[in-house]
């Protein structure tokens, strides 16, 4: 079929009738499909159930160094867990602190601490007239929610195929000392699935910020979340690169096992320079006597080492890969060549980013919902929920079963077609 913009008004109206009949048929199915968030499916959660059996009341819950995991203490995390997470994060074990179950919580704490206590002796952000964060867009809505919650002004930075627009990042960071941070999902980014190029990572490490308390919030959530064994993105390790560039303190690196083991019961960590960790520990020892060491031990006994973790992620990939391929296949089959949408084809992570015609995203998502498909709200991938083009939609393939996903994508493509036709007809008027 030729591109919609090349069709006559009569051809579009005729096509609209045909597609509207298909949409009514979908509405009659009473569907309840959920693609609103990147939740692992029940099938994915099942592969971690063995973790429930690695500890019992008969087991010795003592670490190699004699730490009794049932008791207080060990603020930075048990040695074995630090080694496991350090290998996953590609850093030295003495450069990380193990937290509770959520890296989002660690990021919130990090911003909160900066607001009330400052960063390594700098003025607390709450005492400053203005605090800003750079936000690569489209990006992760929960990052933006944290900075919005604290009243931090968010500045959009466009994403490119190699990562954020570094010309703009360098210019803004160097010229404005009220810019205190930038959110980054550097590998298989949310929602586009883009991995930062070597040059982008090196330019990040060589930033010359006007603010001494500027930090890169490096949320490497999908560090081992590949879809393919033989076609994977690789990322330069940012802490080592910052040290090499003479900026050892400029980055906080976050990760967790949320989508490796159990999202509600994983372990999270922050990696940073010795100076940063010393600063963080001052607050942490007031906040807690220690995180859940039994859960840390459970993870170590289940995965054993990074090799066990990588093997485990292959099982995740076997479940996720057909879903990603199904989404791409439907988009290509239904929308290819129509010039009403573009999409990414990631090699890992949890999302596919779809860009429709400007001004259509909210209407497409609403139309999907009326027929029983809930998607991430249009605009969610931008600060304040405001997509200036109203064009970006995040597709989250992980949670539905494959048959449900196929139905969902057929319905999605149908809604894109219908809304695009209405948009083009309105322009032709």
Where does residue 146 rank: exposed (0-12), middle (13-18), buried (19+ CB within 10 A)?
buried
pLDDT digits (tens, 9 = 90+) for 257-296: 999 999 999 999 999 999 999 999 999 999 999 999 999 9
Is 55 inside any structural domain?
no
The answer to whether 140 and 183 have CB atoms below 8 angstroms apart is yes
Distances (CA, A) of 289 to 66, 240, 278, 332: 18, 30, 16, 53
C-alpha span between 337 and 351 (Å, rounded): 22
Are 281 and 316 in the same domain? no
Are 145 and 225 in the same domain? yes
Is 148 inside any structural domain?
yes
* Domain housing 121: 61-303
Query: What local confidence, expressed as pLDDT, does residue 429 receive?
Result: 82
CA geometry: angle 140, 270, 197, nearest 5 deg:
55
C-alpha span between 295 and 188 (Å, rounded): 27
- List all residues 6 or more positions away from 208 whose beta carbon is below 8 Å from its beta carbon: 170, 173, 174
Are 284 and 398 in the same domain? no
CATH of the domain at 166: 3.40.640.10
Are 215 and 232 in the same domain? yes
Question: CA nearest 156: which of 187, 183, 195, 191?
Answer: 183
Domain boundary among 303, 336, 360: 303
Are 275 and 416 in the same domain? no
Are 295 and 316 in the same domain? no
Question: CA nearest 156: which of 137, 172, 141?
Answer: 137
Are 199 and 289 in the same domain? yes
What tokens does 179 get?
């810019």
Read off φ and ψ for residue 395, nearest 5 degrees: -100, 125
Q: Extract the runs of DSSP E, i.e. beta strands, from 130-193.
A: 132-137, 153-160, 163-164, 179-184
Are 190 and 329 in the same domain? no
- For the beta carbon of residue 127, count every other beta carbon within 10 angstroms: 10
CATH of the domain at 419: 3.90.1150.10
Is 56 inside any structural domain?
no
What is the biggest distance separating any 2 CA atoms in the chain, rounded to whole angstroms?
Answer: 79
- Please give the tally of structural domains in the chain: 2
- For the beta carbon of residue 114, count every other beta carbon within 10 angstroms: 24
Instruction: Tell me the three state secondary structure of residue 289.
Output: coil
What tokens does 89 get?
């994060």
- Give just the sign of the alpha carbon dihedral 245, 250, 256, 258: negative
Pairing mode of beta strands 96-98, 268-271: antiparallel
Is 332 inside any structural domain?
yes
Is 52 inside any structural domain?
no
Are 353 and 418 in the same domain? yes
Is 317 inside any structural domain?
yes
Buried b (16+ CB within 10 A) or exposed e, 217-238: bbbbbbbbbbbeeeebbebbbb
Domain boundary among 303, 320, 351: 303
Pairing mode of beta strands 163-164, 179-184: unpaired
Q: What is the DSSP letter of 348?
A: B
C-alpha span between 66 and 144 (Å, rounded): 42
Domain boundary among 239, 271, 303: 303
The answer to whether 179 and 134 have CB atoms below 8 angstroms apart is yes
pTM higher than the cut 0.75: yes
Instruction: Tell me the three state secondary structure of residue 215.
Output: strand
C-alpha span between 237 and 392 (Å, rounded): 30
What tokens does 282 get?
């001052």
Which H helix or E strand runs over 251? strand 251-256
Are 83 and 216 in the same domain? yes
Are 135 and 280 in the same domain? yes
Is 50 inside any structural domain?
no
Q: Where do the H-state alpha helices sit in 253-360?
A: 274-287, 293-303, 306-335
Is 367 inside any structural domain?
yes
Regions in the chain scoring below 70 on pLDDT: none
What tokens does 191 get?
């929602």
Pairing mode of beta strands 352-356, 341-343: antiparallel
- List all residues 6 or more positions away from 178 whose beta carbon is below 8 Å from its beta carbon: 128, 129, 130, 131, 132, 211
What tokens does 235 get?
């990322």
pLDDT digits (tens, 9 = 90+) for 83-95: 999 999 999 999 9
Are 387 and 419 in the same domain? yes
- For the beta carbon of residue 101, count every other beta carbon within 10 angstroms: 20
């Amino acid at each position: 079929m030729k591109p919609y913009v090349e069709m006559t008004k009569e051809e579009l109206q005729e096509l609209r009738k045909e597609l509207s009949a298909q949409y009514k048929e979908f509405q009659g199915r009473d569907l309840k499909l959920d693609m609103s968030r990147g939740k692992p499916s029940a099938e994915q959660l099942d592969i971690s159930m063995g973790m429930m059996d690695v500890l019992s009341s008969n087991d010795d819950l003592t670490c190699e160094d004699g730490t009794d995991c049932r008791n207080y203490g060990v603020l930075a995390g048990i040695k074995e867990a630090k080694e496991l997470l350090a290998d996953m994060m590609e850093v030295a074990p003495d450069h990380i602190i193990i937290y509770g179950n959520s890296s989002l919580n660690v990021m919130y704490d990090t911003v909160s601490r900066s607001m009330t206590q400052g960063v390594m002796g700098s003025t607390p952000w709450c005492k400053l007239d203005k605090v800003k964060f750079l936000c690569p867009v489209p990006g992760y809505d929960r990052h933006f929610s944290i900075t919005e919650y604290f009243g931090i002004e968010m500045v959009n930075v466009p994403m490119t195929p190699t990562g954020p627009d570094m010309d703009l990042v360098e210019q803004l960071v160097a010229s404005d000392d009220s810019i205190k941070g930038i959110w980054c999902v550097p590998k298989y980014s949310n929602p586009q699935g883009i991995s930062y190029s070597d040059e982008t990572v090196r330019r990040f490490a060589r930033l010359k910020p006007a603010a001494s308390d500027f930090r890169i919030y490096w949320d490497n959530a999908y560090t081992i979340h590949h879809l393919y064994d033989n076609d994977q993105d690789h990322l330069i390790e940012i802490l080592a690169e910052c040290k090499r560039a003479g900026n050892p303190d400029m980055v906080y690196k976050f990760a967790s096992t949320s989508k490796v083991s159990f999202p509600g019961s994983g372990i999270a960590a922050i990696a940073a320079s010795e100076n940063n960790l010393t600063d963080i520990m001052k607050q942490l020892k007031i906040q807690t006597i220690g995180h859940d060491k039994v859960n840390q031990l459970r993870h170590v006994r289940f995965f054993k080492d990074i090799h066990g973790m990588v093997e485990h992620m292959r099982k995740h990939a076997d479940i996720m890969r057909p879903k990603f391929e199904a989404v791409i296949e439907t988009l290509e089959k239904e929308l290819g060549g129509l010039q009403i949408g573009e999409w990414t084809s990631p090699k890992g992570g949890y999302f596919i980013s779809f860009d429709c015609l400007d001004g259509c995203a909210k209407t497409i998502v609403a139309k999907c919902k009326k027929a029983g498909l809930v998607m991430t709200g249009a605009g969610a991938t931008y600060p304040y929920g405001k997509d200036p083009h109203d064009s970006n939609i995040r597709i989250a393939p992980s949670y539905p079963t494959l048959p449900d996903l196929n139905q969902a994508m057929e319905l999605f493509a149908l809604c894109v077609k219908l809304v695009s036709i209405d948009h083009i007809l309105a322009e032709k008027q």
